[in-house]
């Protein structure tokens, strides 16, 4: 499965930062900080919110926060 950055995953879902923030119950500035690297280690709760809003799986790797499509369940 292809892994994507938060920005790539957001654009893959055709969402703006404002739309993603609303879906994840977050501030747009938090989305921006994660996308630009000003904030690199999000809390687990934040990762879950983003993953659920994007309908993807969130992973924290040595490369940072990445997302991939959810497998068929």
pLDDT, one tens digit per residue, over 1-14 is: 688 999 999 999 99
What's 42's domain CATH number?
1.10.260.40
Domain that holds residue 58: 6-68
Q: How many domains does the chain have?
A: 1
Question: What pLDDT does 64 receive?
Answer: 77
Contact 35, 5 (CB under 8 A): yes
pLDDT class for 73, splitting at 50, 70, 90? very low
Return d(Cα 60, Cα 2) in angstroms, integer.
14
> Cα torsion for 41, 45, 50, 53, to the nearest 10°?
180
Q: List all residues 6 or more positions away from 14 whose beta carbon is below 8 Å from its beta carbon.
A: none
Return d(Cα 62, Cα 27) in angstroms, integer.
25
For the stretch 11-61, pLDDT in tens is: 999 999 999 999 999 999 999 999 998 987 888 899 999 999 999 999 877
Please report whether residue 25 resides in a domain: yes
Counting every residue written for the chain, the total comes to 73
């Amino acid at each position: 499965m292809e892994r994507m950055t938060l920005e790539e995953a957001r654009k893959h879902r055709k969402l703006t930062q404002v739309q993603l923030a609303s879906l994840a119950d977050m501030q747009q500035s938090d989305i921006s900080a994660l996308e630009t690297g000003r904030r690199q280690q999000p809390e687990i709760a934040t990762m879950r919110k983003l993953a659920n809003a994007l309908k993807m799986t969130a992973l924290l790797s040595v490369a940072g926060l990445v997302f991939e499509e959810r497998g068929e369940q």
